[in-house]
Amino acid sequence: MEREFEELTIEPRGNDYVIIRVDGDGIKTELSLSETNVVFLGRLAPIVARRIVASKMPAGSDVSASVATPAKNFELNSDLHNDLVLLKIRDEFDVEFVFSFGPAGSSYLGERLIKWSDKVANAVKPAKQ
């Protein structure tokens, strides 16, 4: 995380996509990716980001490292067969994350969300410095 970059973009090019990185000296690097590569990269990036953040934590620390994305809003729906509950969460940049749960899993998630919300709401807040 020490190295800075100026710009990182993904743009369509023909039937593929290109990741374009321009470093601080203006040197451009391009990597061509298929649609499948881009979709997989979208799933892989959060995993790698969590590993990077976790690796920066001091050994023996009792604080867990995480990368939390603020949620702007959410939608609930079901799949075409009404077998799954679909949870779509939209972040501050309007990026959508869609998760699916069976009915039992979504009920469990709902119960746990209520319990954790109550716990956080009633927790003693540390003094801000």
For the chain, give every domain's residue range. 7-55, 71-122
DSSP code of 83?
A: -
Q: What is the pLDDT of residues 92-121, one digit of tens each?
A: 888 888 999 999 999 999 999 999 999 999
Q: What is the pTM of this model?
A: 0.60
- 63-81 pLDDT, tens digit each: 666 777 889 999 999 999 9
In this structure, what token pair is assigned to residue 109? 């998630």
Is the separation of the CB atoms in 21 and 8 below 8 Å? yes
| Spatial CA neighbour of 76 closest among 100, 105, 104 | 100
